[in-house]
Amino acid sequence: MERKASVNRTTKETDIAITLNLDGSGKADLSTGIGFFDHMLDGFARHGFFDLNCKVKGDLQVDGHHTVEDTGIVLGEAIKKAVGDKKGINRYGYFILPMDEVLALCAIDLSGRPYLNFECEFTVPNVGELDTELVKEFFYAVSYSAGMNLHIKMLSSGNNHHMIEAIFKAFAKALDQAVSYNPKVTDVLSTKGSL
């Protein structure tokens, strides 16, 4: 049975509709109004084997902040909803991803407790139309609305495009591992009995 979720969120700043299938094949249909952000979400879907439909109308005449942050909020809500009761899944996931000269680490715990540790310094203000400051804001929003511990660390820095892309792909691989079913896990992987 596929684990799918659809979440809509409308405010005065953004109108967002996301459908996520955790058991997909990596297909994406994306329109955020920020080309490089679409490219990153496409990499997330493809490398995590998630099907992702993401339509965003944001106040880009102001800047990209609300669009990127609110997309993170809605994606996090979709992840939380699609995962469900977390019975039988690994819960934890981690990946170290190389992309040419850069090396990015991502580790996830679907604990229900939100926390972000983000260790990455960008050296340019923008990549394409994406403000590099918003990368951290996006993952903060995802971690808090999904209720996950999320650690992202740039082990080897370099080209800012490569750094951001490596982060999104490492996140995809770590999340795929965390939500995957494990035959050894017969209930919820917690001494508390729930997550």
Q: What is the pLDDT of residue 194?
A: 75
pLDDT 10s digits, 160-172? 999 999 999 999 9
Confidence of residue 2 (pLDDT cuts 50, 70, 90): confident
Is the sign of the CA dihedral 148, 151, 13, 79 positive or negative? negative
Name beta bridge partners: 130: 127
Q: In order of start, what are the domains of the chain with their CATH numbers?
A: 4-179 (3.30.230.40)
Q: Per-residue pLDDT averaged across 133-141, rounded?
A: 98
Q: Per-residue pLDDT averaged across 42-60, rounded?
A: 98
Structural tokens at position 5: 């979720």
Q: What is the pLDDT of residue 82?
A: 98
Q: What residues contact 52, with CB distance under 8 A and at least 6 apart?
A: 18, 19, 20, 21, 24, 27, 28, 29, 30, 41, 44, 45
- Residues above pLDDT 90, as percent of the chain: 95
pTM comes to 0.96
d(CA 57, CA 13): 8
Average pLDDT over the chain, rounded to an integer: 97
pLDDT 10s digits, 97-134? 999 999 999 999 999 999 999 999 999 999 999 999 99
Q: What is the pLDDT of residue 122?
A: 98
- Residues above pLDDT 70, as percent of the chain: 100
